[in-house]
Each structure stands twice: as structure tokens, then as C-alpha cells.
Structure 1
Amino acid sequence: MTRTKYRTYLFLFAFLAGVVSSLPARPVQAQVLTDTVLHQTILKALDNIYNSDFAEADVYIRQLRSRYPQHPAGPMLRAMQLYWQHIPLKDNKVATAQYGQACEQALTLAKKRLDKDADDPEGVFFALTAHSYLALKYHNDDELMKAVNEARRAYSYMKQGFELTEKNPEFYFTTGLYNYYVERYPMENPIVKPMMWFFKSGNMPLGLRQMEAATRRATFTRHETAYYLANIYLQHESAPTRASAWLKPLTERFPDNPVFLMRYTESLLLNGQYDEAARLMPRLKAMPRAFLNVPIQLFEGLLAEKEARNDRDAGTHYQAALRHTFVMPYTKEYHAMAYAGLARIAARANNSSLAKTYYSKALGISEYKSLQREAKAFK
């Protein structure tokens, strides 16, 4: 593989990993929509996965795999369950192996459907999802070339999905996400611009409209589309108010989902709604998930700094956040925010040199445009 193609596929992997890393796409398509039992069983499994009731989700997944052994929904849901249950998945070797097996099983069943009909929307969707899940696994296992190869295979199915949005509204999610990021990514990473000839052009406003259409018209990808819209408004558009509008309903429907609650609390803090954010902190602290250590300390630091105006307490919390290892992709940005908080504290203490050091560390890991602007503006 040439260097140019290699770097192009690295971009492709980065995009596809983003599709599944935070919130794996929900399995769905034609048979699901015409078979009421299958449809309802998948919905119940998904709702339980999203609400962290993994034992109950397992009951429905077993029913699916028993009643529909040739359908890829069962193993794909199993992979999704493992992903959510063991954040970060890469730290659990047994769960990682089971995840890989479930992805391979789903892919085999999806390809059987495509062997009968190469344009079968259900086969296309599950093949896209399975290859994307496998790309993520290989990336986590530090097998980069395997990850790139899986991403390349996934892209071929993604392109088929571009033509299937009217046949099945679930494709509004992946198509809209692609249309947004294929334009946004090179804007923020100019080094990849020469390689973008490989990809079909996108349209960011259209991508956002397509994702919004998915939240209205899709059945199974509705919630993850809302989550991704919130992420876009937080990370790229610097619009926490709009992010909150998408995240609040998710936390109400799935009150035990730690990721949804974490991101909603973040959006409130970034929007200056400190009282509302403070009211959510006891719920967040009560969730027994180790990856929440970083955001809990960061959020306490932001409340101390922004609301209580207590730099000493804020600095203690920011340092505590940095002592915990961040989990990709969920809490890496929170380390950047902690460094930025320490930089602001140093600046108020007239320690410009230390502030610059902290802002430099923040810039080294931050992906949020608002934080990058803050760090670059400091002189």
C-alpha cells in the first residue's frame, strides 16, 4: 500500500471508528420492520443495553439468536452489549475476544444475505456495522493495518448506504454523519486534504439535516443520532445549548446510562448552567463505573472555579482528574479541560509561564474548537 493510500485509509478508519466508538449503530432493516416479534425484541434489547440493564438485555438477545439463528441482529446486539458493559472494552481480554467473535458471526450472516441480493439494505447495514466494529477492535489491539483494512471494507458498504436512505431511513444516520465529517475532518486536519480525492464529497449542513431527519424518521438509530448531533455541537460547533437539547431527552429515557448523563452534565457546565449541573452530580457519583472518575473530578473543578470562585478547590479537583487515566474516546477531552482550568488559575495568579505550559498540554490533546481557541488566544 502506498503512503498516500495508507494515510487516506487512516482518515477513513478515524471516521468509521468514530461511528461506532461512542455509540455503536443499531442493527435494523427490512425484515426487522416487517416482523413484529423481531422488531419488538430488538427494541427491548436495545433499550436495556442503553439503560445499563445488561442481564435483561441478554435475555432478549438469547431469544433473538434462538428464534432467528440466521439473522445478524443477534450477534450484532451481543457485540453492542459487550461494548457498553465493559467500557473500556480493550481492558477486558475475555470480553474483547467475545466481541470479536460476535462481530465475525454477524458479518458471516450479513454476507449470506448479500450473496442472495447484493443490494439488500439489511445485508448492507449489518456488513457496514460489523466491519466498523472490527476496525475498532483491531485499533484497540494496536493492529493498525487490520483496522485500516476493515475500515476500507466498511466504506464500500457505506457508499451503498448513500443510495438507500429513501428505502430505509436508518441510513440517514450513517449518510448524514459521513456528509458532515468528510468535510469537517479535513478542515480541522489540513494534512489530509491532498488525499480527499478518494472520498465522495460531503456537505455539512446537509449532513446535519439528514441526522435530524434520522431522529424523526428512523426507528432504531434515533437515539444514537441524537447523541452524535450533541457531540458535533459540543466538539465542532461550540454550541452547548444545542447539545443539551439533544442530550436531555436521552438522560430522561435512559437514566442509568453513564455516558449520556456524563455528556449532559458537561453540556450544562459549558453553557454556564451550574445549578442544573450540580444537581446531576450525585447521580453521576452513584454510578459504579471507573471511567467516570475523570469527569467527576473535572466537573467538581469547574463548579468550584466557575460558580464558587474557589481556585484552590478547583485546582485540587483538576489535578485529581489528571491523576486518573482517561478512556478513549469518552474522557480524553476532560484531561484537556483540566489542563485549561489549571491554566486559567495560573493566569489569575499572574504565573503566565505556568499558564502557557498548561495551555500547551491542553492543545496537545484537545479536539474541542472552543478550548483550542481559548488556549491559542492566551498570550
Structure 2
Amino acid sequence: MFSPVPHRFRAFISYLMVSCFISTTALQGQILRDSASLNLLKQCVDDIYDFRFDDASYASQKLNKSFPEHPVVYLVNGMITYWKNYPLIPSSLECNSYENDLRSCISLCEESYNQVDYAEYLLANLGARGMLLLFYADNDLSENVFPLAKGTYRYIRQCFDYSSFYYDFYFFTGLYNYYREAYPDTHPVYKILAFLFPKGDREKGLREMQISAQNSIMLKGESYSFLSHIYMHYENNYQQAYDFSKSLYELYPSNLQYLGSYLKNMFLTKKYNEAENIIRSSEGKLMNSYFQAQLTIFNGLLQEKKYHNYALAKKLYTKGISDMAPYGYYGNDYASYAYFGLSRISDIDDDKSGRKAYRKKAIEMTNYKKVNFDD
């Protein structure tokens, strides 16, 4: 039986792979030799992350017309599917096409023996593997994560040979340097396993990711996203996490995942008025049910923390938990925030059994017990 893989370490593996593909802008390759195609690819990636899917699909079609059956096109199509159907869960109708596109990309890359284009194919291969790992890990499909991750490591090691080519690669090296040291520190059970990998440097990793966030062409979003997550969950510096999530939101204001992260950091830094303005401006807009469930939980936090309307907060937390249930493991972190809130309200109501039961449930649902909004 495989054990669950914590959220951002799972995403670390996957985004690591995606970064390898996107960061090849300084290398030679079929698509990347042509400046017009390179600019089209850059715009396509921006369109994907800012949820402009019609524009992204049009760009993908143009790339496919110029470079038919190129693995990069399959990777781009997988990225479009992932974000267009965010959050992608096992019951999603698009899962088959998502997996097929990414496995087609991997197969095309591994069947190519053209040394001139090896870097581009290597990194597209890693990108596709990363997107698959992201999907499997986000949904606690550990039986799929570990075999794929095991076969991917040798490709990751090859990428270190390219770390000096471009600013974007600082994202890759930064993630490795940071998580190689930070993850075993917070999860001691993995310390023995960590000895199998070259040592990292926690501080250097943070500096490298900040270089990527400030200077890279393609990976600013991912760099800001991970910096925000790291400062929130590992460094416990909520103000710094807020600053990075704000930069990310301003870069891709239509991305619902990044908007949720921004709101979370507002509550952690007690910026309740700012959070309320964002919540109110989001209400009534056409958004998916997953983000609507997040908004319900954030509204619960707002009623509890700003207005001290505990009865309404309790109703909102309960509704948020119910609305998040269809998303299973994917929604556990947000459901835990609601359970932590119900525990606090039970304490105010002098309901000791409720306080303990809700808190126990919250702790069971999250890997980051300090992010509970208790303070």
C-alpha cells in the first residue's frame, strides 16, 4: 500500500518537469530554432496560465500545422486540458485525452534518436512526465506516482547539465536545492531516502527561485507560486508568502488557483478588508464549483474573523465542506480550513467534544497543520 504524497512536494516533482520543457528557450530545437514559433509558444503558455483557452488552442493548432506530430504540441495540449478543466480529477471526462496526449509526447520523445534535437526532446519528455505526476499526485493516485517518478529521475539528472543556459533554469535548480534539504527536515521518515540524492542548499534554493521569479521569461508564474507556498508552509513567513502570491495574482489574474492562494494569504496576514473586496468582486462571476466551494469557506473565515458572526460562519463552513466533497483528496486542504474553523467555533460555544472532533478531522485532512488560521 502506498502512502499519500503531500500536496506541494507532489507538485514540486511535477512542475519541476514542466519547467524543464519550458526553459529550453536558449537551446536549439525544431520549434525553438524559429523565433516566430518560439514567440508563439511563449504566448501560448501565458494564455494557458491566464485561462485564455481559445487563444491557447489556436496557438497550439498553428504550432501543430508547422510542426506536425512534434511532442511539444502534445504537451501543450495536455497543459490546456489540465488548466481548462481545473481541478482535473479522476472522474473528469477529459482524463483519458489528458493522459493520452502526455503519453504520446513521452513515446515520441523516447523514440527519437536525433542528437541535434536531444535537448528539446529530453525536456518535452520531462514536461509530459511532470504533468502526469501532477495529476496523479493531486488526486492521491500513489500507485501511479511512484513507478513514473522512478523512471523519471534519470532524466532529471541529465537536466543539471543545462542549468547554466538560461535564467529559467534557476527555477529548476532552486527547487531541487531547497526541497532536497527542507522536505526531509519536516518529514524525518524521508531522511534515509534523501541520502541517495546529492545534497542541496536551502538558502541558495530560495535565492535561485527569486532570480527566476524576477528574470525568467517563461517561469515567473511557477517561481512565484512555489515561493509563496514555501514561505507559507515551510518558512512560516506569511507576509513574504503574501507578497509573492500578490505578484502571481497580478501576473495571471484570471487563474483561479492563484486567486485562491492570494486570498488564503490575505487571511493569514489578517488583511480582511482586502480579502472581502476580492471575494465580493468574484461573487456572481462564472466560475467553477470548486472555486465556488473555496469562496464559501473564505466567506466563513470572513464572518468568523472580521464580523464575529459565528452562527453564519458555521453555516458557511458546513456548506463549504459539503461542496468540496465531490473533489475528494484534491479538496482536502480547503476542507481542513473549514474544520479548523468549526473547531474554534465549538470552543467558543463551550462544546468540548465538538472542538476535539472537528480539530481531529482537520488534522487528518492536511499535511500542513500550522496553516489553520487559529491566530
What TM-score comes out, normalization by structure 2 length? 0.87
1:188 deviates by: 2.3
Shift of 1:69: 2.5
In structure 1, the residue matched to 2:355 is 355
What amino acid maps onto 1:371 in structure 2?
A: V
Residue 168 of structure 1: CA displacement? 3.1
Q: 1:20 aligns with which of 7, 10, 14?
A: 14
1:99 aligns with 2:98: yes
Q: Distance in 2 between matches of 1:176 and 1:22?
A: 10
Counterpart selection for 2:218 from 203, 220, 235: 220
The 5 A counterparts of 1:206-285 are 206-285=204-283
Secondary structure of the residue aligned to 1:168 is coil
**CA–CA distance in structure 2, aligned partners of residues 167 and 312 of structure 1:** 57
CA–CA separation in structure 2 for the residues paired with 1:303 and 1:176: 35
The answer for the alignment partner of 1:311 in structure 2 is: 310
Match of 1:342 in 2: 342
Q: How far off its partner does 1:240 sit?
A: 2.3
Identity %, equivalent residues: 26
Whole-Å separation in 1 of the counterparts to 2:8 and 2:243: 27
Q: Is the alpha carbon distance of 1:124 and 1:212 closer, same or farther for their aligned partners in structure 2, counting shifts above 3 Å?
A: farther
Which residue of structure 1 aligns with residue 77 of structure 2?
A: 78
Please show how residues 70-219 of structure 1 align to structure 2 within 5 Å: 71-91=70-90, 93-111=92-110, 115-117=113-115, 120-137=118-135, 144-219=142-217
Count, aligned residues: 368
- Confirm or deny: 8 A CA contact 1:27 1:76 kept in the other structure: no
Structure 2 stretches of 5 or more lacking a match? none
Give the aligned partner of residue 46 of structure 2: 47
CA-to-aligned-CA distance 1:58-87 (integer Å, 9 cap, x gap)? 000111111123543211111000000112
Residues 16 and 130, structure 2, Cα contact 8 Å, conserved in 1? no
Cα distance 1:352–1:24, how it changes in 2: closer, same or farther (>3 A)?
farther
Residue identity matched to 1:360: K
Aligned-partner SS, 1:202:
coil
What's the offset of the Cα at 1:217?
3.1
Q: Any conservation in 2 of the 1:333–1:366 contact (CA below 8 Å)?
A: yes
Whole-angstrom distance in 1 between the partners of 2:191 and 2:8: 15
> 1:263 and 1:329 mapped to 2: Cα distance?
18
What code does the residue aligned with 2:340 have?
A
Write out per-residue CA displacement over residues 265-293 of structure 1, whole angstroms, 9 at most, x where no aligned residue.
Answer: 11111110001000101343324211113
Quote the Cα distance in structure 2 between the aligned partners of 1:325 and 1:159: 38
What TM-score results when the alignment is normalised by the length of structure 1?
0.86
* Corresponding letter in the other structure for 1:27: I
1:69: which partner in 2? 68
Contact 1:22 1:329 (C-alpha < 8 Å) held by counterparts: no
Measure, in 2, the Cα distance between the counterparts of 1:354 and 1:11. 29
Which shifted more, 48-57 or 362-371?
362-371
* Cα distance change on mapping 1:144 and 1:313 into 2, 3 Å: closer
1:320-345: CA deviation from partner (whole Å, max 9, x where unpaired): 11112354776422111111111111
Cα deviation digits, residues 95-133 of structure 1 (max 9, x gap): 2111122112322343355x2339943333222222222
- CA, structure 1 residues 71+77, in 2 after alignment: closer, same or farther (shift >3 Å)? same
Report the secondary structure of 1:89's partner residue.
coil
- Other structure's SS at 1:371 match: coil
The change in CA–CA distance for 1:93 and 1:341 in structure 2 (over 3 A counts) is closer
Q: 1:148 offset after TM fit, Å?
A: 1.6
Moved more, 138-147 or 160-169: 138-147
**1:101 maps to amino acid:** N
SS of the equivalent of 1:213 reads helix
CA distance in structure 1 between the partners assigned to 2:17 and 2:106 by the alignment: 19
The separation in 2 between residues aligned to 1:231 and 1:189, in whole angstroms, is 16
- Cα deviation per residue 1:179-210 (whole Å; 9 max; x = unaligned)? 22222222222222222222222222121111
Cα gap change, 1:224/1:97 in structure 2, threshold over 3 Å: closer, same or farther?
same
Distance 1:131 1:48 in 2: 22
Instruction: Give the 3 Å change call, closer, same or farther, for CA 106–140 of structure 1 in structure 2.
Output: same
Q: 1:194 to 1:344 in 2, by over 3 A?
A: same
